Amino acid sequence: MHALSLGYWEEPSQKIFKNQIFAVNLFFVSNTPNPNIRLSGGKNVKLIYQSSLQPADIYKKKTYYFKAMGEELVLPKAVVKDSLTFTIPSKRVRANILNPPDNFCNVLAKDLNVMNFESVQYSKNKNLVVMKIVTHLGNLEDFSLRDSLKEEVKSIKRDFPKTQIIYYTILPNTLHKLTFSYFNLKKKEFETKSFKIRVKDESVSTQSDIKPSQDKNRKIKMAIFIGLGIVLLAGALLKKSFFTALLALASLGYGLYMLMPMKKVCVKEGAKILILPTQKSTVFKINTNKRVYEELGRANGYVKIKLSKEKIGWIKDEDSCKN
């Protein structure tokens, strides 16, 4: 119980852990429906969300959700401007440190659900895994896997208290099952998620250019065909062979064709960029502005585009536009 005062921070109702998003209530006296409240200072806390004002006996209550960025936390002081102006002092809180298992993904949440899980071949020895993950009161921005060779949170969407991310990771193809754990804040224990990595057959025919070595392979092929063409042409001139000359011209022609600049394709604003040219493929990026990309090929009503040096994606044909 608190002695009668103009306002105070309530003690958090449950134990707090580092990196957790936690709720804490601010109680204060107010005579107006919409008093001005300004937070300042604080230490190792990041404001995530704040609720609307609610009555609470002689006080009004506002719930703030902070992320614990360290062990020693200091809630900010609150300046309330009402019929009079007063300051609610800051409050010290301690965050505990978890002792996680090796496969901990760094997420603490009331629940964690993998809504979509897809895997495709990335290169000869690697697979690309894409997941859509949703949590309730979870720090999904910290999601990370120990077995990942390379990883990225492609997008993050907050609709408090829910958070959703599209996450991709490159894993060795010797890994046939992906297992990770998160800390369940309801149960106060680590909960494990496990998924079999099944590389889709379609990746062999449609995703061969997803490999990061694509540009290098193209240059090697170009050099081989031009070199072969020159050798065949020299042989044709020496032997005066019409057939060898045709082969030389064909080889040189293909090599020079590969020297030509890549085709370009304009992609509409808001177009969904997919990891596979299929109806149910995961969307891992939204084209926020009308842009021009390199076109790498077409298949079944989809256009393959080059997003950056090592990233490939697909768009529906109708999402292309005129330059």
CA distance 138 to 270: 27
Instruction: List the chain domain ranges.
Output: 7-94, 104-199, 208-260, 262-323
Helix H or strand E encompassing 232: helix 214-239
Q: What is the pLDDT of residue 260?
A: 60
Residue 89 CA: distances (Å) to CA of 8, 35, 78, 95, 101 = 7, 17, 7, 19, 38
Please check whether the two domains, 7-94 and 104-199, share a CATH topology: yes
Closest Cα partner for 55 from 86, 88, 28, 89? Answer: 28
pLDDT in tens, 35-81: 999 999 999 999 999 999 999 888 999 999 999 999 999 999 999 99
CA distance 238 to 194: 65
Please check the confidence at residue 283 and state whether its pLDDT lies above 80: no
Return the CATH number of the domain spanning residue range 104-199: 2.60.40
Is the CATH number 2.60.40 carried by domain 7-94?
yes
- 199-203, 205-209, 225-229, 314-318: the lowest-pLDDT one: 205-209
Categorise residue 239: left if φ over 0, alpha if ψ from -120 to 50, beta otherwise: alpha
Please check the confidence at residue 149 and state whether its pLDDT lies above 80: yes
Record the pTM.
0.67
CATH class in words for 262-323 = mainly beta
